[in-house]
Amino acid sequence: MLPGPTPATSQAPDGARGFAVVDVEATGRSPWRHRVVEIAVVLLDGQLRPEGEFATLLDPLGPVGPTHVHRICQADVEGAPRFREIAPRLLELLAGRVLVGHHVSCDHAFLEREFARIGVPLPPVPLLCTMRLARELLPEAGGHGLAACVEAAGLGWYPAHTALGDARVTAELLRHCVGVPGVPGGPTGDRTPEDVRGALREAARVPWPRLGRARSRPSGAAVPLLRREAPYGPWLPGVPAPAVVLTDCGAMGSTA
């Protein structure tokens, strides 16, 4: 889980809601030809303190794609919500926030296409990329992928290629790069305060669309949420990391 609140690097601009750290797993590499099969959003306030989480598998209405990468089987998405069913909640979570991701342009492209498929244009949300930050601020990293950057930052084991695991550790990588005190191995001073404040100001000005909430299926059943997660490490030598667990999180309506 994300750690508790830590001292802030700087005050957020008035009206800013903070950050939405997003990760998607997809059925392939092309936003135009493939679909999102899992999504997670970790919410941080303007001072990078944890506010909540949202995560679920999605029914892509077809094959789940590279199971050897994301470890999602076709049976895992049976009964999972479709994107249209969670879209109203996603809009509520993302509105007024800076969209953060590791190679965030990829996650943004998949979100943009999924919203376009249901006739909703995604507004010009400001983006903040931890890959770019890490390239500048973690020169010791052996590469620019998330795993290499996390290792260089000393953030420990995480359940890679699960949307929630990647989003949680990306949030920690952001905190490390920006310089929030208390992050393991992190710096003690502001590194990119103007970039962060500027993105927050921009996010606060973006008008967001709204959708009516998909509260139930035609059968009357509530829209389910299916979450994959695993505890964080690090683990002792010789002790295997825990398996990823698929959990029925009940009906739509909570960020926790």
Strand-pair partners of 86: none
* pLDDT tens string 226-235: 999 877 666 6
* pLDDT tens string 182-230: 444 444 444 445 777 889 999 999 999 988 876 557 676 777 899 998 7
Of 196 and 105, the one with more pLDDT: 105
Per-residue model confidence (pLDDT) at position 237: 65
- Residue 232: domain span: 18-251
| Assigned domain for 256 exists | no
Residue ranges of E strands in the chain: 18-26, 36-44, 50-57, 97-101, 127-129, 224-229, 245-251
Record the pTM.
Answer: 0.85
Q: Are 9 and 48 in contact (CB under 8 A)?
A: yes
| Assigned domain for 233 exists | yes
| Assigned domain for 5 exists | no
- The reply to whether omega before 240 is within 30° of 0 (cis) is no
Per-residue model confidence (pLDDT) at position 24: 98
- Taken as a whole, the chain contains a residue count of 256
Q: Which residue has the tokens 């996603």?
A: 90
**Number of domains making up the chain:** 1
| Assigned domain for 1 exists | no
CATH code for the domain of 82: 3.30.420.10
| Assigned domain for 9 exists | no
Running DSSP on this structure, what letter comes out for residue 10?
S
| Assigned domain for 4 exists | no
| Assigned domain for 137 exists | yes
Q: Are 25 and 55 in contact (CB under 8 A)?
A: no
Query: How far is 74 from 65, CA to CA, in rounded Å?
Result: 9
